[in-house]
Amino acid sequence: MELGLKTDNLKTLAQQYPVIAVKKIVEKHINSKGTAIPILQDLQNVFGYISPDLLRRAAEFSGIPVNELYSIVTFYAQFRLEPIGEHLIQICHGTACHLAGADKITESIQFEIKAKTGKTSDDNLFTLEKVACLGCCSLAPVMTVDEETHGKLSPENVRKILKTVRRKNSEQSASKGDCEDAG
């Protein structure tokens, strides 16, 4: 049964009333078979990650044992138990990217953002994830920064890409500050 709840509406609801948002997500899926994964996917889409409190609330509203939900979240790589940085970097380690030097690119990214794979930089700007395949083998080695794909990577162009992201982020922060000062 579709309740007409779009992800954007749930995100807005979650900012003020997180418990009600969790309840709405559970209600959206509760009458379907195999409800646990869709509930967890929606929780992550709305909240950005799945905290222990979200797991407890989802268990409470769905009747699915919290240890069952936790085992699903820790089994599937798509789920996150910690918040991510402002920009998600996914570095491909599929066969083509591995052969084209994905390990060297990953080291370069780690050096630039000063965070290991699976972690978020201290400034909360970047989270680095290693993925099995991004499906862009002809562009190997490949990474995505948020929704943008970058291919034929070298340590030098990785540095330039991340520098550009940092610059744009600074400009956006500065313009937000200007607007706040003006208002």
The rounded distance, in Å, linking the Cα atoms of 179 and 2 is 39
Kindly state the greatest CA–CA separation across the chain. Answer: 53
Q: What is the pLDDT of residues 65-105, one digit of tens each?
A: 999 999 999 999 889 998 899 999 999 999 999 999 999 99
Mean per-residue pLDDT over the chain, rounded: 91
The rounded distance, in Å, linking the Cα atoms of 96 and 98 is 5
Could you say which DSSP state residue 89 is in? E
